Amino acid sequence: MASGFFALFDDVATLMDDLATMSKIATKKTAGILGDDLAVNAEKATGFVSARELPVIWAITKGSFLNKMIILPIIILLSLFAPQAVVPILLVGGLYLAYEGAEKVYDYIFKQHSKEKTEQPLNVLNKEDILTQEKQKIKSAIATDFILSLEIVIIGLSTVADRPLVIQIPVLIVVAIATTIGVYGIVALIVRLDDMGYKIIAKGEQVNKTILKKLGLLLVKSLPVIIKILAVVGTLAMLVVAGGIYVHHIQIIHEWIHFLPSIFQELSTGLVIGLIAVITWRIIVRIKNKVKHLVSVILF
């Protein structure tokens, strides 16, 4: 009886050691996309009123956890019973990311809309409008996070694909929790840099330390610059992630542009696919509006 107990204890210890090792490997393997994930989500989580920044980030973080709770069982079941469905799901997600990134590039190049906006008088938003905009931005951020979370889970799964479920499930849970806390923890620090700066300035004034005042002022002034950089990096990251999905899973695309460096393969592929998606969608919307107008003229 005692020998059986110790044998069971030894098996559990071996399993925990294996679990720790595979969790470490899986987390390292997903680290490559975490830079892109951070840039995209930091860009999505900025632009809110200071008092609402942390509540917004917390709302997106909860959405990210929910995303992973939905994705984990679905991907595990698909990998067991329909592994051929995983790649098409990734491609659809990549199309969404490519569209999101390319839409920003398209609007930046063709500035007609922005010019029209500057000519219009500024509207003062009431509290209800601000909350509505906030909810829309949170939904957009969570939708983008869903695609990034999907790729993180699939990359994590690829490291333990040959392991039993008793290893796969805990490893993926560890990866999901670690990546979510890591990314949104850093995002929270970034968006609160100005508040940290003001506190350091106040502390410097209390103790009459010039170096503290300069450090605080540097943090305050750096936040707008960081946000602008993140807006660009976040857009590029979406295109790179989207392009990477297509380059790595559609052989013909890789063959066409194999002579380019990897980063340019992914960026160019994401941009082309995204621009095609943006232009196609805008044509569909224009046709739909014209049909609506025609129907209303005929009927009324």
Question: In this predicted model, what pLDDT tens digit does every residue of 214-263 receive, in sequence order?
Answer: 888 888 888 788 877 877 877 888 888 889 889 988 989 988 998 889 88
Q: Provide the CA 218 distance to its chain's centre, in angstroms.
A: 28
Q: Which residues, 6+ apart, have CB-to-CB distance to 145 below 8 Å?
A: 41, 60, 63, 64, 67
Q: Is residue 60 part of a domain?
A: yes
Q: Is the pLDDT of residue 10 over 50?
A: no
Q: Which tokens is 212 given?
A: 């503290």
Write the Ramachandran bin of 209: left for phi over 0, alpha for psi from -120 to 50, otherwise beta.
Answer: beta
Rounded to whole angstroms, the Cα distance separating 192 from 201 reads 14
Residue 63 pLDDT class (50, 70, 90 cuts): very high
Residue 6 pLDDT class (50, 70, 90 cuts): very low
* Residue corresponding to tokens 């790595």: 248
The total of structural domains in the chain comes to 1
Report pLDDT for 279: 93
Q: Is residue 221 part of a domain?
A: no
* pTM of the predicted model over 0.85: no
Q: Provide the CA 234 distance to its chain's centre, in angstroms.
A: 9
Helix, strand or coil, per DSSP, at residue 289: helix
**CA angle, 243 as apex, 281 and 22 as ends, to 5°?**
130
Taking only the tens place, the pLDDT of each residue in 133-173 is: 888 888 888 888 888 888 788 777 767 766 777 777 888 88
**CA angle, 105 as apex, 100 and 109 as ends, to 5°?**
150
* Residue corresponding to tokens 């996070």: 145
Write the Ramachandran bin of 163: left for phi over 0, alpha for psi from -120 to 50, otherwise beta.
Answer: beta
Range of lowest pLDDT (22-36, 58-72, 74-88): 22-36
Compute the average pLDDT of residues 174-189: 84
Q: Which residues, 6+ apart, have CB-to-CB distance to 249 below 8 Å?
A: 87, 90, 91
Q: Is residue 108 part of a domain?
A: yes
CB 183 within 8 A of CB 44: no
Compute the average pLDDT of residues 114-121: 50
The whole domain housing 170 covers 2-192+237-299
Report pLDDT for 26: 47
R_g over Cα of the chain: 24
Report the candidate in 96, 71, 64 with the shortest Cα–Cα distance to residue 179.
64
Q: Is residue 230 part of a domain?
A: no
Rounded to whole angstroms, the Cα distance separating 195 from 61 reads 21
Compute the average pLDDT of residues 124-135: 73
Q: Is residue 253 part of a domain?
A: yes
